[in-house]
Amino acid sequence: MARPLSARKRDILYLTFFIIHLPIMFAIDLYPIYPEVAKPTWMTGLREWYIATYQDQFFVIPPAWFNVYMWMEALYHVPLSVWAIGALTRDDPKVPLHLLLFAVQTGLTTLTCIADYLSWDNISQDAKVTLGALYVPYLALAVFMGVDMFGRLDAVISRAAGVKAASGKKGL
């Protein structure tokens, strides 16, 4: 039986993240893949503000790998985020599997970005700290989510193995 969302504090955190993550992806992150005619003025202004505020060079002159990350966000994060909002709300049993994959992919790509921007010579240390205020919490959430989802899956597998052992069935 599904537990109410109010009893699942970590799931409320993840749900809140995905609700916030979706519009940010569409308004800022995925901007470069829109055709010019589909880029509203407010979106261009928001992106210009973001670049001026955070000096994020990934949004100025993105390396080739960053474009791959953007497409992963469009083709994987967007559909997963839409699915996760509903799945977290209804306590779908597949949440740990999908969010573990999301957490690992997100953690690795975010860590790559952090390692890269720390090497930039064209922005100040203060600018790097400001940029870190965006990237580091994103990494921390991915690591937290990954550990949580691994623990949830481990508990399910352990219960299943215990049932097999108790019933005398031999596992593989």
pLDDT at 89 over 70: yes
Contact 89, 121 (CB under 8 A): no
Q: What is the pTM of this model?
A: 0.90
Helix or strand or coil: residue 116? Answer: helix
- What was the pLDDT predicted at 172? 52
Q: Which amino acid appears at position 35 of this protein?
A: P
Residue 137 has which token pair? 């919490």
**Taking Cα atoms as reference points, which of 105, 100, 98, 78 lies closest to residue 22?**
78
Predicted confidence (pLDDT) per residue in 15-68, tens digit? 999 999 999 999 999 999 999 999 999 999 999 999 999 999 999 999 999 999
